């Protein structure tokens, strides 16, 4: 099937047929939600036919991409676009009397992710499909997913987001492929006369994993892959004895405890119940996936010994690490292999992507929790640890180095160390991050197994994050260099030839302004009293709220700017609007407090008569993929200001760059590679470098830094005094002054403020800022996910 094979009339007829068959309505009395569902069914059927055809020809190595998150956003327009039927769908909806945009808006964002990790997985699955790679994504079919964020009284509150109700058109259950996952119980060891060990598992609780598949179309409508999402069910819907005895709640207990596994993404884990649930989630989805992959392999290839020749499993961060002992369990307990044979298969199949150097992301589980919840897996981990310990002793003897690299020590199971022991490749996600893993985080293993380590710089789905969400810019690019960049993003470099073409630069400014107007309309729907100034520079920090990402430092800069305006009310000041978009983890008190500060600051700045038409602050509530699709094309300044050495890569920086935003940032994560391509003339750098952060930390005195900076003391004083809502933020300033300023906010502040002044001096020159914007777009092709997937395929997966 190729592009444009379906006419508008055929599309309209197919949608009308679904409306009649499934909803007993016609287009004349259907709701937009019903029309969306009918449209999704039509697109899904097109993909199903393509997938059936493809599966007859797919005999190559399969990639299995495992991630706790797949932040795919909305699927209707994306899949239609990739299939080449987007225009036919849009026109068919208009002919039926609906505004196509309203129908697309009826689709909720799939609540399958939180931030960059999940968005990256979604981009990669799209690129794998476009590149013709036979791949399957695996995750959990979260009923409520990530929470819906509501700002109430200036504070973040979390509300359940039941996205699945409106997304059933995409989710196809396969009850015939359900598998059993076991928790708890005990192991009875048995040794036969030949000394072979078998484990008899008893007293366990069963949960049934039911796959619900979403189909993903590649660009050009040729390849279709699957995102398999696991839904948890109880083997017993109701305890009839309890129910008949009048204990109705008790009768549903087993079902409730099973279904809670797939209720929400990342339940709070600051208590043992939350930790237990998270562990169950991780094992549930990797066990179900491993069982399915091996079952399919046996059906197609018979002998499990050939498994590594036909499959590669990529685990996206440490969350799916239990796939390692689970594969061992199945190969030994079900297929009857010995340890060495099973270990050889696993260690030639599983590769690990590390996404951060932050301590909380290098997961550690209490060993008694694993022992209690997953007794057979605990046995296998213990044996892996015993053998790994022997290897470490051979390298380092009985030493501290040996101990810190053990899988089990200090009463904890260290998941990253399990990955180091078992995975054939370990990759970082940017050049800097790869170097940090080698020289710091995993240095002990790197010096002994350097061939195991590499990096693949992250990438984004440029078709979605440029051509789809920014049609004006896409049109300009096509007029200048053609549409070949859609499959060959490196061709975007040709745009640099137009850097001095004034007509191109003027058109680029017009596109950016139109995008700001569109975003302003979107923002006003959320906050009716906010009126965006489209002639102001749109300065954006859009990312998960975390201290190391330093949204606090940006808020401090705004506090300084407001004070400067008060001191210099008649001085020239280039109008600017700061937009924050971020969710804080429900249990992350400091992050939620920073959101509260931003909201206090926003109210005061936006109501300040001296700041009118000069300075605005807007907090974008409930940031999600569909909101990013409005924000990214409108942004003119990209705030990438994390503490050097803390951000593994970042992908928001790439999306903003690709849409022409100019970066102010530190040399952190993929900013390093952006800077290598942009240079000082096209990017604004400030702050300490990674090695300078580590050096300063040895003798850092935050109070001395403040004493040397009147500007900084003024900001600290303002935060201490508080705002018109009566809230003081001395707790945050005390954390900086007396709590060690862990993320070097004070140390970098003056450099940041001075860099911002240089940036806005440049932004005042319309021609210059358009030239820099064009160069950013031109040099962003290297950050396309297609390039990253080719590197994985060639260097890691060996496809």
Distance CA 234, CA 254 (A): 7
- Closest C-alpha among 223, 219, 133 to residue 488: 219
Please name every residue paired with 732 in a beta bridge, in sequence order, or none if there are none: none
Residue located via tokens 């260097």 = 795
> In the structure encoding, which two tokens stand for residue 99, read together?
């505004």
Distance CA 226, CA 171 (A): 11
What lies within 8 Å, CB to CB, of 758 at 6+ separation is 684
Say which of 44, 64, 543, 583 is annotated catalytic.
Answer: 543
Distance from the Cα of residue 690 to its chain's centroid: 24
Distance CA 233, CA 236 (A): 8
Distances (CA, A) of 384 to 355, 395, 491: 24, 17, 48
> In the structure encoding, which two tokens stand for residue 144, read together?
């409520």
Say how many Å lie between the first and final Cα of the chain, rounded. 25
- Closest C-alpha among 297, 263, 309, 208 to residue 798: 309
Coil vs helix vs strand at 260: helix
Q: Are 641 and 618 in contact (CB under 8 A)?
A: no
> In the structure encoding, which two tokens stand for residue 22, read together?
């499934």
Bridge-based pairing state of the strands 537-542 and 576-581: parallel
Would you call 525 a catalytic residue per the annotation? Answer: no
Would you call 280 a catalytic residue per the annotation? Answer: no
- Closest C-alpha among 298, 757, 742, 360 to residue 544: 360
> In the structure encoding, which two tokens stand for residue 279, read together?
């562990």
Residue 340 CB neighbours (<10 A): 9
Half-sphere CA count of 730, side-chain side, radius 13 A: 6
Say which of 119, 549, 550, 583 is annotated catalytic.
Answer: 549
- Closest C-alpha among 80, 32, 766 to residue 468: 80
Strands annotated E in 660-758: 662-665, 684-685
Would you call 766 a catalytic residue per the annotation? Answer: no
Distance CA 251, CA 241 (A): 8
Distance CA 393, CA 388 (A): 9
What lies within 8 Å, CB to CB, of 63 at 6+ separation is 128, 133, 134, 135, 136, 312, 314, 797, 799
Distance CA 94, CA 101 (A): 10
Would you call 462 a catalytic residue per the annotation? Answer: no
Residue located via tokens 């549409």 = 483
Half-sphere CA count of 630, side-chain side, radius 13 A: 19
741: left (phi over 0), alpha (psi -120 to 50) or beta: left
Torsion on CA atoms 635, 641, 642, 645, rounded to nearest 10: 120
Say which of 18, 228, 389, 544 is annotated catalytic.
Answer: 544
Continuous segment of H or E residues that includes residue 136: strand 135-140
Say which of 655, 677, 779, 787 is annotated catalytic.
Answer: 655
Coil vs helix vs strand at 62: strand
Continuous segment of H or E residues that includes residue 416: helix 415-422
Continuous segment of H or E residues that includes residue 200: strand 197-202
Please name every residue paired with 413 in a beta bridge, in sequence order, or none if there are none: 365, 408
Residue 741 CB neighbours (<10 A): 20
Would you call 74 a catalytic residue per the annotation? Answer: no
Would you call 544 a catalytic residue per the annotation? Answer: yes
Say which of 64, 355, 624, 779 is annotated catalytic.
Answer: 355
Distance CA 212, CA 174 (A): 6
Residue located via tokens 């094979």 = 5
Say which of 373, 651, 663, 666 is annotated catalytic.
Answer: 651
The radius of gyration computed from the CA coordinates of the chain, to the nearest angstrom, equals 27
Distance CA 673, CA 752 (A): 20
- Closest C-alpha among 231, 269, 66, 214 to residue 140: 231
**What are the catalytic residues?**
355, 543-544, 549, 651, 655
């Amino acid at each position: 099937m190729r592009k444009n094979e379906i006419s508008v009339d055929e599309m309209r007829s197919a949608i009308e047929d679904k409306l009649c068959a499934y909803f007993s309505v016609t287009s004349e009395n259907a709701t937009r939600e019903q029309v969306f569902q009918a449209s999704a069914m039509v697109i899904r059927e097109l993909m199903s036919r393509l997938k059936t055809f493809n599966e007859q020809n797919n005999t190559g190595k399969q990639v299995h991409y495992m991630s706790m998150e797949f932040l795919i956003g909305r699927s209707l327009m994306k899949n239609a676009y990739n299939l080449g039927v987007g225009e036919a769908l849009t026109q068919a909806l208009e002919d039926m009397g609906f505004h196509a945009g309203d129908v697309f808006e009826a689709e909720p964002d799939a609540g399958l992710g939180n931030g960059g990790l999940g968005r990256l997985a979604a981009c990669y699955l799209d690129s794998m499909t476009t590149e013709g790679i036979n791949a399957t994504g695996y995750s959990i079919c979260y009923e409520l997913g990530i929470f819906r964020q509501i700002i109430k009284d200036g504070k973040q509150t979390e509300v359940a987001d039941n996205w699945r109700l409106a997304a059933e058109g995409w989710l196809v259950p396969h009850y015939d492929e359900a598998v059993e996952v076991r928790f708890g119980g005990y192991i009875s060891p048995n040794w036969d006369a030949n000394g072979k060990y078998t484990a008899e598992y008893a007293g366990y609780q069963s949960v049934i994993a039911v796959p619900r598949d979403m189909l993903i179309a590649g660009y050009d409508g040729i390849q279709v892959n699957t995102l398999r999402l696991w839904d948890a069910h109880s083997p017993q819907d109701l305890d009839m004895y309890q129910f008949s005895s009048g204990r109705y709640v008790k009768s549903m207990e087993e079902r409730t405890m099973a279904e809670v596994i797939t209720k929400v993404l990342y339940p709070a884990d600051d208590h043992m119940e939350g930790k237990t649930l998270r562990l169950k989630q991780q094992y549930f989805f990797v066990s179900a996936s491993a069982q399915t992959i091996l079952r399919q392999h046996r059906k197609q290839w018979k002998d499990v010994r050939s498994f590594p020749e036909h499959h590669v499993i990529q685990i996206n961060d440490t969350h799916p690490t239990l796939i390692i002992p689970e594969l061992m369990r199945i190969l030994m307990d079900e297929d009857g292999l010995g340890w060495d044979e099973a270990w050889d298969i696993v260690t030639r199949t599983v590769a690990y992507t590390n996404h951060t150097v932050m301590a909380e992301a290098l997961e550690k589980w209490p060993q008694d929790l694993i022992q209690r919840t997953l007794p057979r897996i605990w046995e296998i981990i213990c044996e892996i640890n015993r053998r790994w310990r022997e290897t470490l002793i051979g390298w380092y003897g009985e030493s501290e180095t040996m101990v810190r690299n053990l899988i089990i020590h200090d009463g904890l199971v260290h998941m990253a160390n399990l990955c180091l022991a078992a995975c054939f490749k370990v990759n970082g996600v940017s050049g800097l991050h790869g170097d940090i893993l080698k020289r710091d985080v995993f240095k002990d293993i790197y010096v002994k197994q350097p061939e195991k380590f590499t990096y693949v710089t992250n990438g984004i789905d440029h078709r979605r994050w440029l051509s789809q969400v920014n049609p004006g810019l896409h049109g300009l690019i096509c007029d200048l260099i053609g549409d070949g960049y859609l499959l060959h993003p490196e061709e975007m470099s040709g745009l640099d030839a137009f850097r001095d073409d004034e007509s191109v630069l003027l058109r680029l400014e017009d596109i950016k302004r139109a995008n700001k107007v569109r975003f302003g309309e979107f923002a006003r729907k959320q906050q009716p009293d906010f009126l965006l100034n489209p002639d102001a520079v749109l300065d954006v920090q859009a990312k998960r709220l975390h201290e190391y990402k330093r949204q606090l430092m940006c808020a401090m800069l705004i506090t300084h700017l407001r004070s400067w305006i008060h001191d210099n009310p008649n001085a020239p000041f280039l109008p600017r609007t700061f937009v924050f978009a971020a969710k804080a983890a429900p249990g992350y008190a400091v992050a939620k407090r920073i959101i509260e500060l931003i909201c206090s600051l926003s109210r005061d700045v936006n109501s300040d008569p001296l700041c009118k038409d000069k300075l605005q602050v807007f907090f974008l509530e409930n940031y999600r993929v569909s909101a990013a699709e409005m924000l990214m094309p409108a942004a003119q300044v990209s705030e990438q200001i994390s503490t050097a050495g803390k951000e593994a890569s970042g992908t928001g920086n790439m999306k903003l760059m690709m849409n022409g935003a100019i970066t102010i940032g530190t040399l952190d994560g993929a900013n390093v590679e952006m800077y290598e391509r942009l240079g000082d003339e096209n990017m604004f750098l400030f702050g300490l470098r990674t090695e300078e952060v580590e050096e300063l930390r040895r003798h850092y005195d935050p109070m001395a830094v403040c004493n040397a900076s009147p500007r900084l003391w003024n900001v600290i004083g303002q935060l201490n005094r508080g705002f018109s809502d009566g809230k003081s933020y001395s707790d945050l300033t005390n954390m900086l002054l007396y709590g060690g300023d862990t993320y070097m906010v004070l140390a970098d502040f003056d450099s940041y403020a001075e860099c911002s002044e240089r940036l806005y001096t440049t932004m005042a020159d319309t021609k210059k800022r358009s030239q820099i914007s064009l160069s950013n777009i031109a040099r962003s092709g290297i950050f396309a996910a297609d390039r990253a997937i080719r590197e994985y395929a060639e260097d890691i997966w060996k496809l």
